[in-house]
Amino acid sequence: MARTCIIGLDGGTFKVIDYLAAQGRLPNFSRLMANGSRAVLMSTVPPITPAAWSSFYMGTNPGKHGSVGFFRFRSGSYRLEPMNANTVRGTALWSLAGSEGKRVCVYDVPVTYPAAPVNGIMISGMDAPHFNDRSVFPAGLRREILDTVPGFDISSSVDYRYLARHHPDPEGECIRQLQAHQEIEIGTVNHLMHKEQWDLLVAIFRSTDSFQHIFWDSAARMMAGSPREGDERRAEAVFGAYERIDKELGGSWKQWLESRNLVVMSDHGFGGLKSEICLNRFLAEAGLLAFMPGSARSTPKKLLADQFRDHLPRNLRKRLKKALGRDDSERRWQIFVDSLVADIDFSRTRIFSIAQFGCFYVNMKGRRPLGIVAGETERRTVIAEAREALAGLVDPEDGEPVATRFYDRDELYHGSLLEEMPDLVVELRDYAYQGIYNTSDELAQEKIICGPPQRFGRLSYTGTHRSEGILILSGPGVRPTKLPAASIIDIAPTVARMMGLPEVPEWDGRALEEALIGGEGKPGAQPGKTRAFPAGKESARGGQQPRGAGYSEEDEEAVRQRLQDLGYI
């Protein structure tokens, strides 16, 4: 069976690809789509980076692998800990390949820290706090990468806060730094790609996502033919990120890929960001949540602190925070209640929101340490009240509802980790609206619906995730065909079929037989649908990941700071 290469474009969207291809600016993407198969690749619900990439490489839904966002609850507390490889369950695609004697190379896939021993090499993704010995396997590869790829780091080091306030050309400098990091990504993949004749190579480019989050508004106006002054440079930053990948597809990668199957995919799509919403404040107004006494009165102090902090470069902020430390009472509280939700009085709260994409958790007795909701009947009553309240939330600009679709937990997830999933997931009108992660930031806002982010000035986010990602299949094992929408959980079974690997019993996805040579006419589930497997039947083939934190306190703080700098918290 043919060797296979998976190239992931974080946030990749056909909106940009088709626009540029029509202008002749992506000749190699155009060639791959003409000679192979393409489909809209539906992400997880909601379309969040850790959930989507984990679902890709595990081939299962979050109810089995456990990753639904950037954080999960630490047992016995309201403390949130970053998701990492030790908190995800299942059989990773590369573990399956390695167990069958295939040589594998894995680069920059989120939720892969600490790097697992594999039959080949692995460099962890954005959940790695630093490029240390735990973020690479084998450990000796770290020195080789640093020697071969000057300036290598896990993530770009753009300090958006400081640039926005102090650089004479923040947009230009941001573009320069993001382009420099994309060149590091390309240089690393080039080195790894030609290091060995890999049977399976998986490489993710997160630069596409970084450019789009900031410059999406300008790219969207350019694609719509209605640009404003200053849009061209911002839009070209987005377009150039795709063009640099296209250049490699027809240049340094072309010969290496000639005898291999190629999968080009994304974890989610992209679109505009209209407004942020104070979801927990809304729940409080609906009588479903309570804040700690005095929380609202503390916001002016926090605003002054934030304004002072934002005028300092990142390294100085870190040193100052370390020097000031935290008093013992704050430290004891943070061990139990996370700083992101520290303003919530859980002893008087029935349901609360975590993260930006409409994930709501019922404060259940027995499940949460200060839970006040008892039993399944009361849980469903709380969910019904929350749904009714959220259905009445409208954007004052157009008078239209913000919450447009509601999912109960059982509609989206199944598996042994079902109890860790959100009880209610709400789609916030085409995902163009998103929640504010930090309760203290919510309390500092004047309105519930507070407009687009402004915290980084011209470098503030203008774009965010959508459900519709990309899938392009090409190579000796692929036949040209028009595919209907596929699901991100279909990729692992499809690649396994390409490589002649055995099926994993817990997979929820299915091989896209209609796009594979020899698969014509074979029966299968509807594309994009999941197969139901009984909860608790997950196998350990290929090495099930152990449960555990995986981070020191310092490492966890580094990951939080990265996510904060990126605008995710």
What would the pLDDT profile of 337-369 be if each residue is shown by its tens digit? 888 899 999 999 999 999 889 999 999 999 999
Q: Under DSSP, is residue 15 helix (H, G, I), strand (E, B) or coil?
A: helix
The pLDDT value recorded for residue 167 is: 94
pTM: 0.89
515 and 473 in contact (C-beta within 8 Å)? yes
d(CA 304, CA 310): 10
The overall longest dimension of the chain from CA atoms, in Å, is 67
Q: Are 83 and 559 in contact (CB under 8 A)?
A: no
Residues 548/87, Cβ–Cβ less than 8 Å: yes
Tell me the chain's radius of gyration from C-alpha atoms. 23
Among the residues of 348-507, which ranges form H helices? Answer: 375-391, 409-412, 439-443, 491-499
Supply the pLDDT for residue 541: 35
pLDDT grade for 537, boundaries at 50, 70 and 90: very low
- Does the pLDDT at position 485 exceed 90? no
Answer whether residue 324 shows pLDDT above 80: no
Question: Beta-carbon neighbour count of residue 226 at 10 Å?
Answer: 9
- Bridge partners for 433 per DSSP: 275
Confidence of residue 332 (pLDDT cuts 50, 70, 90): very low
CA dist 363 and 342 (Å) reads 15
Domains delineated in the chain:
4-83+92-273+465-471+487-565 (3.40.720.10), 275-451 (no CATH)
Q: For residue 328, what pLDDT is reported?
A: 45
Query: Which candidate, 255, 263, 436, 440, places its Cα nearest to that of 344?
Result: 440
Lowest mean pLDDT among 348-352, 434-438, 468-472, 490-494: 434-438
Q: For the segment 185-235, what is each residue's pLDDT rounded down to a tens digit? A: 999 999 999 999 999 999 999 999 999 999 999 999 999 999 999 999 999
Lowest mean pLDDT among 366-375, 408-417, 442-451, 538-547: 538-547
pLDDT of residue 569 exceeding 90, the answer is no
For residue 107, is pLDDT > 80? yes
| Nearest in space to 62 (alpha carbons), one of 81, 49, 80 | 49
Tens digits of residue pLDDT in 396-442: 999 999 999 999 999 999 999 999 999 999 999 999 999 998 999 99
| pLDDT surpasses 50 at 538 | no
Structure tokens, 67: 């990753």
pLDDT of residue 319: 57
* Mean local confidence (pLDDT), 305-322: 57
Q: What's residue 529's pLDDT?
A: 36
The stretch 14-34 carries a mean pLDDT of 97
Bigger pLDDT: 311 vs 185: 185
